[in-house]
Structure 1
């Protein structure tokens, strides 16, 4: 796996693997259910992904949107392709909502609502929270 995938905690954060993409639980949660959708390829330009990865992106987003709607009942879903520090192709998937969410004794607010997500204001997942969120999300991702 590429360095970007490893930086986001792979294999501990892996929720689902597709042929070209990995769905990872984002270790820092600006909102509950934040994910990383990471290309398994070593490319650093979106346009350089193989055609199969572009085709499979539709499947990956359908899986993610259904699972997160069920898990966190988001109002909007932001896909952010930033790739400034972590160069390999990936998206930060941030569920957006106005009211706070509670999960496993932790409160998750959307500090940026209704504007740009505040990625710096995030709940850092410890092993217990990561395990509990993953246990709820994995079955929803199929």
Structure 2
């Protein structure tokens, strides 16, 4: 796994692994259910990923959206590819909603709604909260992703 994946808490935060991608719980939750979609390669440019990664990404996104729909009933979803601090290809997946959401025992508002996500308002999760949120998402993943495709 590359440096960016490790920085976002792999393996403790891993929700799902694919051939070319991993889906991680974002340890600092911008909104309830914030994730990281990270390429497993060492690529630092999106265009450098192999064609198979782009094909697989479509399936991964469908499963992310189906799972987060069940988990937090988002109204919109933002995919941010920033790669300024962490250079390997990855997206911050931010579910967006007007009212607060409760998930895994946490109540989280979308401080940036209806504008861009407010990354500075992210709530850092402790190890117990990471485990609870991750476990709930893993449990939801199979049933939600079965309905995604």
Q: TM-score, normalised by structure 2?
A: 0.93
Structure 1 partner of 2:92: 92
Q: How many residues align?
A: 142
Distance 1:109 1:25 in 2: 17
What SS class does the counterpart of residue 16 from structure 1 fall into? strand
Q: CA RMSD in A?
A: 0.9
Distance 2:32 2:65 in 1: 14
Q: Is the 8 A contact 2:100 2:109 kept in 1?
A: yes
CA positional deviation for 1:79: 0.5
CA positional deviation for 1:105: 4.1
Structure 1 gap ranges (5+): none
**Residues 85-124 of structure 1 correspond to what in structure 2 (within 5 A)?**
85-124=85-124
Q: Is the 8 A contact 2:72 2:103 kept in 1?
A: no
Q: Are 2:50 and 1:50 aligned?
A: yes
Distance 1:86 1:141 in 2: 26
Structure 2 partner of 1:73: 73
Q: TM-score, normalised by structure 1?
A: 0.97
CA positional deviation for 1:132: 1.0
CA positional deviation for 1:135: 1.4
Distance 2:77 2:5 in 1: 21
Give the structure with the larger helix fraction.
2
* 1:73-124 CA distance string (max 9 Å, x none): 0000000000010000000000000001123443201000010000110111
Structure 2 partner of 1:139: 139
